Amino acid sequence: MRAGLDVLLSDHAAIRALVGRKVGLCCNHTAVTRELDHATTALRAAGVGLQRIFAPEHGVDATAQDMIGVEGDDARVPTISLYGSTAASLRPDPALLSDLDVVLFDIQDVGSRYYTYQATLGYLMEVAAGTGTEVVVFDRPNPIDGISLEGNVVEDGYESFVGAYPLANRHGMTMGELGTFFAKELGIDCPFRVVKMEGWRRDQWFDETGLPWIFPSPNMPTLETAAIYVGLCLVEGTNLSEGRGTTRPFHLVGAPWIDRDRMTELCRKGAADAQLDGVGFRPASFEPRFQKHAGVPCHGIEIVLTERRAIHSLLLGLVVLEAAIRTNPDRFAWRTETYEFVADPKAIDLLTGSSEARAALETHVPPRELIESWKPALDAFTERRARCLLY
């Protein structure tokens, strides 16, 4: 199969249509050809002149950790950061789009609504709607398949950079399809088109495409990490370490005060009660080198994926949180610090799209029951999504 960038580069007419135009590129390090040449190199070699680059969270080269502001500092092409020190920095200044004919967009997503690259696409489209600048997405696969859906939809009042639009937690869409959703279903009216992939099947996982895996962000090292991220990202909304600062982010969960054997026992029981398949738990200790509990030994669990097609990742995340609450109810707490530029609602509510999940976990509503209660919202999203699928 071929990703959108390779499809464009092989289309001489499409390249000629870009030559001589004022072109911007929103990208990071994942914008590579099948031969691993970066889009900036490949496009310029094809004669396309790039006026400026727009960089998402983590920067063009993904050297910054999460929620760290990035300055525009890439020397190859003048670069504008779309993740600075304020919420306003998440959207480009209209003046930086108004002198461009087109902005190309090429960033690998991971299939979860919290992953901020899709919000960057939406915000870019919103500004482009006001300047009349065309936005063109070079499409790439949804790495955790384009079929499976999980979760609810962000409710009014709970929008943020980790939930900017009414998407399911696991949305089953490509970046091109997300842009189509923003245009068709949400009415973001900018000139927009997608350079589609060739040869991708919706049931494929990334390692079945033949494309090279480029880690999409500093704490997304493997496809396995992406598979559990839909659920385990919720740990960010607590005082537990989600394994950042280790070689197993999102697979390791714990804190200095946790009884690891007790938490493992509760995770295994919770998984059985919730009929959660495809995953196992082992007691684990680890020491994060940065972020939560940096330099302090933590205890908890390691999540081991046994069958990725069987797993319900969001249910897994809820099972783990329920176990953590029950293991140490006096020490467990929801994160209260400002999260992605928002101080209120709480981080966990921003991630889950409402206060419902937090309230359910606090009152010991079974995770499977909570998942089932979201089915009407997921069904409604499924209908809207169907109108925007390209493959």
Q: Are residues 180 and 250 located together in one domain of the fold? A: no
Q: Residue 216 falls within a domain, yes or no?
A: no
Q: Residue 218 falls within a domain, yes or no?
A: no
Helical ranges in the chain per DSSP H: 4-9, 12-18, 39-45, 95-98, 117-131, 175-184, 223-232, 260-273, 313-327, 347-352, 356-362, 367-373, 375-386
Beta bridge partners of 79: 53
Q: Which domain holds residue 357?
A: 223-374
Q: Are residues 171 and 76 located together in one domain of the fold? A: yes
**Tokens matching residue 335:** 């994160």
CATH number for position 38: 3.40.50.12170
Q: Are residues 173 and 234 located together in one domain of the fold? A: no
Q: Are residues 152 and 187 located together in one domain of the fold? A: yes
Q: Are residues 190 and 290 located together in one domain of the fold? A: no
Q: Residue 242 falls within a domain, yes or no?
A: yes
Q: Are residues 186 and 245 located together in one domain of the fold? A: no
369 half-sphere exposure, CB direction, 13 A CA radius: 10
**pLDDT for the residue numbered 69:** 53
- As a whole number of angstroms, the distance between CA 307 and CA 208 comes to 15
What's the CA angle centered on 71, arms 166 and 8, to 5 degrees?
A: 60
The pTM score is 0.95
Cβ proximity of 48 and 101 under 8 Å = no
Other beta carbons within 10 Å of 198:
14
Q: Residue type for 200, please?
A: W
Q: Are residues 92 and 153 located together in one domain of the fold? A: yes
Q: Are residues 231 and 173 located together in one domain of the fold? A: no
Per-residue pLDDT of the chain (391 residues; tens, 9 = 90+): 999 999 999 999 999 999 999 999 999 999 999 999 999 999 999 999 999 999 999 889 867 665 555 565 555 678 999 999 999 999 999 999 999 999 999 999 999 999 999 999 999 999 999 999 999 999 999 999 999 999 999 999 999 999 999 999 999 999 999 999 999 999 999 999 999 999 999 999 999 999 999 999 999 999 999 999 999 999 999 999 999 999 999 999 999 999 999 999 999 999 999 999 999 999 999 999 999 999 999 999 999 999 999 999 999 999 999 999 999 999 999 999 999 999 999 999 999 999 999 999 999 999 999 999 999 999 999 999 999 999 9
Q: Residue 391 falls within a domain, yes or no?
A: no
Q: Are residues 105 and 166 located together in one domain of the fold? A: yes
**pLDDT for the residue numbered 2:** 97
Q: Residue 173 falls within a domain, yes or no?
A: yes
Q: Are residues 151 and 293 located together in one domain of the fold? A: no
Q: Are residues 273 and 328 located together in one domain of the fold? A: yes
Burial class (CB in 10 A: 0-12, 13-18, 19+), 238: buried
Q: Are residues 174 and 237 located together in one domain of the fold? A: no
Number of domains making up the chain: 2
